[in-house]
Structure 1
Amino acid sequence: MNPPSSNLAAPEKITDRRLRKVGGASLIGTTIEYYDFFVYGTAAALVFPKIFFPDVSPAMGTMASFATFGVAFFARPVGSILFGHFGDKIGRKRTLVWTLLIMGLSTVLIGFLPGFDTGVFGVFDNGIGFWAPLIVVVMRFLQGLALGGEWAGATLLTAEYAPKNQRGRMAVYPQLGPACAFFLASGTFFLASITVGDTSEAFLNFGWRLPFITSLLLVMVGLYIRLSVDETPVFEAHKRNRERQAAEVTLPFADAIRVQWKQILISGLAMSTVFSMFYTGATFMTSYGTSKLEFTRTMILGFGMIASVVLGIVTALAAIYSDKVGRKKVIAGAYALTVVWSLAMFPLLDTGSPIAFLIAVTVTLSVYGVANGPAGALLPEMFQSRFRYTGAGLSYNLGGIIGGAIPPILASQIVASHDGIWVGVLLAALSAVSLLCVLALPETKNNVLEEAPATKAAPAVTA
């Protein structure tokens, strides 16, 4: 292990006001990024089968819609490598500005895109045929690329500022982004739905576009806040050391794979259930409720807003609690509960009760929140500073492919011809694998980020 450098900034000297500013910048950024990401997921469940895949059966349209939804998860590891490289070379702050811009512009463009055979806002009288789903796929890929670079940068922004015994508390800020974003995404679709009508042609023609276009305002606010934040003291110290020692320029991705490939692989499998439970609760259940259970769009969106509030509270409590008992215990406890809950979830949903649906969505997102809260501190604490952005982002987004892209597609195929309980079996099996992987990881809460703690953690993963 390399000894800590004498000129490293001491986190305890950073004022509370500066910590709050950093936390606010991290929160607003992840909220906007996830809002853009979730708006697409909500639209994929509610309207995209009709807008971009109208010539196939409803079941096939839903499957195709979720397939385009999954494209972003395959783009996310690419984004973590690309933006991780720049984040580890030129800094966290400058890289995060680019991820925010790419995500925002991609989302706004979807809002102005004509459908397969429908126009938009009177500018286009007709659709653009197969170009519509093709462009959607490209925009979705760019969304995934941006979010792949966003999460690691936002968590590093807080983790590298925080005192060692408060990294879980600081990790609350970026990890609250999904809860805030899901509330905003559900809320904007809810307002659009009740304004233009829950089942009207107006919603299909232009109502669904409003949440996408609204993203432009959020991006402007986010850019203003992000540009006002200073680079992290840990990265600044690492940069000075690198310049003073005239260190050889290396690729962060290559170094991360060479030094800590086992941590990346095991962490990715461990994080997969975080994604599977969130997108089951936030996206798949939206589709299941409207198509299978025939609930109204406004009811489901309203339930989503309620569940997102509970999600935010649970995420904060879990992240803060992890400072006391450790990241592993909290995440492992969530996964153990998830194995049981996954098997009970669909029998509860299939009762057809609106209250049962609300409970199912809320509990599903809550167990996600318990696991996701500490993850914002766990992954940055695991990697060396010279490739921390790349390593943390690659681990998290590998979990996105395994748990966020594949299960929703498989779940759509399962419910088209089988009982929903088999989706629960799929989720339970994935949760069991994630539980074993979490138990294989070292505890990280006492690691010192300035001292590249991963070299002493590696043997724990190898065992």
Structure 2
Amino acid sequence: MSFAAAAEPTSPAIANPRSRVIFASLIGTTIEFYDFYVYATAAVLVFPHLFFPAGDDTVALLASLAVFGAAMVARPLGAIVFGHLGDKRGRKVTLVGALLTMGIATFLIGALPTYAMVGWLAPLLLVLLRIAQGFALGGEWSGAALVATENAPAGKRAVYGTFPQLGAPLGFIISNGLFILIAILLPSDDPSRPSQAFLDWGWRIPFLFSAVMVIVGLWVRLNLVESAAFERTVKTGQVKRVPLAEAFRNHWKAMVLGTFYMLATYVLFYLMTTFSLSYGRAAPGAAVPGLGYDYRTFVLMMIGGVVFFGIFTLLSGPWADRWGRRRTLIVITLGIIAFGLVWVPMLAAGPVGVMAWLILGFSLMGMTFGPMGALLPELFPANVRYTGSGIAYNMSSILGAAVAPFIAVALWRYGNGSPFWVGVYLSSMATLTLIALLLGRETRDVNIEH
């Protein structure tokens, strides 16, 4: 990497107070992931009942998850558009635009008519707003990661890079906690199905509530100033007319490696959050059997696992700063490969085994997700960093997250309810990540001021 010097500079002053950097990178991704998880939960719990024709429950679930995956396809486009703006106009204005786009799309989902009201127009509108969500998230993550890492003190980039990553477990806890509260207030007599009041209007509350969170996030981000790295790029005349062309011309290898670095993370992420909710709630005697937990019990178990997600996200930062991003992630990826191969015995061990499965899966998720906040930005120079890191992060969403829940349900059905092939799928994708890490190089000591 020709833009990298041997060590980080220590003299330039940090323009933003550290507390503001941490809060701004954390609050935005928390809101963005909250909005995403609200949809992910509704895609399993509500949308198969409300936005698709009545019939085969598995087909309706697969259709709902396909709409969920549509957002992942839109994410690289968002990365390109917001990356162009972020590398030419600055990180601050781009982050504000991404947050507004996500907030408006999520709020409007909460106001949509159902299939019973307007027929096929309902899923069409749902797809369009879901694509808008993906477009926004495509520009959010890389900007938040850059705010954190470009303002980090020397030797602590991975630590600071974990704060935008922490938005994922926090967003999960807030969104699912709100869904559980609504389910408690609107109880159902059938544990496999939400109550009629929940289906009529209760599910809309988490989507509409996102407007409140967006207002808080906008206030924080409007008080940011640009990073020293971007200001230096402007002053030295290194801003590129078309950052995307520059990234593909001179940094395509970094984008390919970054895409595969994230693959295991994405597959694990959506198997543990979206697929597990379907598998955990399916009755043992169903056409495609599952664990048979009621919604509230299983989501509370998931939230317990996500606490470990947050803890290990924070712990992974100091590890990556001390031992290097590459070495840390190679060890963790080997752990993910092994984890995928022990799904059947863990899930067959009763409630204790299921809880251990959730804790281990989410702990590995935190350990692999945390270092990415520093690693991907470090692959690129400042003048294409927003574009390059965003494309790598979001192209991986197509290879991993867009298809992971869909493939997992298909493999679950193919295995007649056994999770064996789903675990093998995870291990296979993690093997690809391991190969990319072995081909890559360490980035801990690159100089990201240039």
> TM-score band, normalised by the shorter chain?
over 0.9
Letter in structure 2 aligned against 1:92:
R
Q: CA deviation at 1:300?
A: 1.5
Any idea what the Cα deviations from partners look like across 1:40-98, whole Å, max 9, x if unmatched? Answer: 01111111111112423111111111100101111111111110000000000100000
Q: Which of 185, 191, 194 is 1:195 aligned to?
A: 185
Contact 1:275 1:400 in 2 (8 A): yes
Distance of aligned partners of 1:248 and 1:103 in 2 relative to their CA distance in 1, 3 Å threshold: closer
2:87 corresponds to 1:88: yes
Distance of aligned partners of 1:249 and 1:260 in 2 relative to their CA distance in 1, 3 Å threshold: closer
Q: Which residue of 1 aligns with 2:157?
A: 167
Q: Which of 396, 402, 405 is 1:405 aligned to?
A: 402
Letter in structure 2 aligned against 1:250:
R
Any idea what the Cα deviations from partners look like across 1:324-354, whole Å, max 9, x if unmatched? Answer: 1000111111110011101112442245x23
Q: CA deviation at 1:236?
A: 1.0
Q: CA deviation at 1:238?
A: 0.9
2:232 corresponds to 1:232: no
Letter in structure 1 aligned against 2:267:
S
Q: Which residue of 2 aligns with 1:133?
A: 123
2:69 corresponds to 1:78: no
Q: CA deviation at 1:365?
A: 1.5
Secondary structure of 2:298's partner? helix
2:252 corresponds to 1:261: yes
Secondary structure of 2:402's partner? helix
Letter in structure 2 aligned against 1:310:
F
Q: Which of 310, 317, 320 is 1:319 aligned to?
A: 317
Secondary structure of 1:176's partner? helix
More helix by share: 1
Give me the CA root mean square deviation: 1.8
Within 1, Cα distance between the matches of 2:446 and 2:25? 22
Letter in structure 1 aligned against 2:170:
C
TM-score (norm 1): 0.90
Within 2, Cα distance between the matches of 1:301 and 1:262? 40
Contact 2:88 2:240 in 1 (8 A): no
Q: Which of 203, 208, 212 is 2:207 aligned to?
A: 212
Letter in structure 1 aligned against 2:73:
F
For residues 98-117 of structure 1, the aligned pairs below 5 Å read 98-117=97-116
For residues 55-66 of structure 1, the aligned pairs below 5 Å read 55-66=54-65
Within 2, Cα distance between the matches of 1:429 and 1:56? 34
Within 2, Cα distance between the matches of 1:409 and 1:145? 20
Distance of aligned partners of 1:248 and 1:233 in 2 relative to their CA distance in 1, 3 Å threshold: closer
Distance of aligned partners of 1:192 and 1:331 in 2 relative to their CA distance in 1, 3 Å threshold: same
Q: CA deviation at 1:318?
A: 0.5
Secondary structure of 1:294's partner? coil
Q: CA deviation at 1:38?
A: 0.9
State, as a whole percentage, how many aligned pairs show the same letter.
39
Any idea what the Cα deviations from partners look like across 1:266-308, whole Å, max 9, x if unmatched? Answer: 2101211111101111111011111222211111221122122
Q: CA deviation at 1:250?
A: 2.2
Q: Which residue of 1 aligns with 2:166?
A: 176
Within 1, Cα distance between the matches of 2:23 and 2:195? 39
Q: CA deviation at 1:13?
A: 3.0
Q: CA deviation at 1:10?
A: 5.8
Contact 1:9 1:237 in 2 (8 A): no
Secondary structure of 1:157's partner? helix
Within 2, Cα distance between the matches of 1:248 and 1:390? 12
Distance of aligned partners of 1:395 and 1:3 in 2 relative to their CA distance in 1, 3 Å threshold: closer
Contact 2:9 2:447 in 1 (8 A): no
Secondary structure of 1:164's partner? coil
Secondary structure of 2:226's partner? coil
Within 1, Cα distance between the matches of 2:357 and 2:9? 46
Contact 1:180 1:312 in 2 (8 A): yes
Within 1, Cα distance between the matches of 2:166 and 2:297? 24
Q: CA deviation at 1:200?
A: 1.5
Within 1, Cα distance between the matches of 2:201 and 2:343? 34
TM-score (norm 2): 0.93
Contact 2:260 2:433 in 1 (8 A): yes
Letter in structure 2 aligned against 1:314:
F
For residues 215-294 of structure 1, the aligned pairs below 5 Å read 215-242=210-237, 249-291=240-282, 292-294=290-292
Within 1, Cα distance between the matches of 2:4 and 2:271? 44
For residues 302-451 of structure 1, the aligned pairs below 5 Å read 302-351=300-349, 353-418=350-415, 419-451=418-450
Letter in structure 1 aligned against 2:313:
T
Contact 1:339 1:428 in 2 (8 A): yes
Contact 2:138 2:390 in 1 (8 A): yes
Within 2, Cα distance between the matches of 1:217 and 1:315? 26
Letter in structure 2 aligned against 1:274:
T
Q: CA deviation at 1:355?
A: 3.0
Any idea what the Cα deviations from partners look like across 1:170-224, whole Å, max 9, x if unmatched? Answer: 1121010101001111101111111111431111111111111110100011001
Secondary structure of 1:450's partner? coil
Contact 1:272 1:434 in 2 (8 A): yes
Q: Which moved more, 1:361-370 or 1:341-350?
A: 341-350
Distance of aligned partners of 1:332 and 1:3 in 2 relative to their CA distance in 1, 3 Å threshold: closer
Q: CA deviation at 1:14?
A: 2.8
Distance of aligned partners of 1:10 and 1:92 in 2 relative to their CA distance in 1, 3 Å threshold: farther
Within 2, Cα distance between the matches of 1:208 and 1:360? 28
Distance of aligned partners of 1:53 and 1:139 in 2 relative to their CA distance in 1, 3 Å threshold: same
Within 2, Cα distance between the matches of 1:268 and 1:248? 24
Letter in structure 2 aligned against 1:334:
I
Number of matched pairs: 433
Distance of aligned partners of 1:3 and 1:168 in 2 relative to their CA distance in 1, 3 Å threshold: closer
Within 1, Cα distance between the matches of 2:66 and 2:404? 11
Letter in structure 2 aligned against 1:339:
I
Secondary structure of 2:54's partner? coil
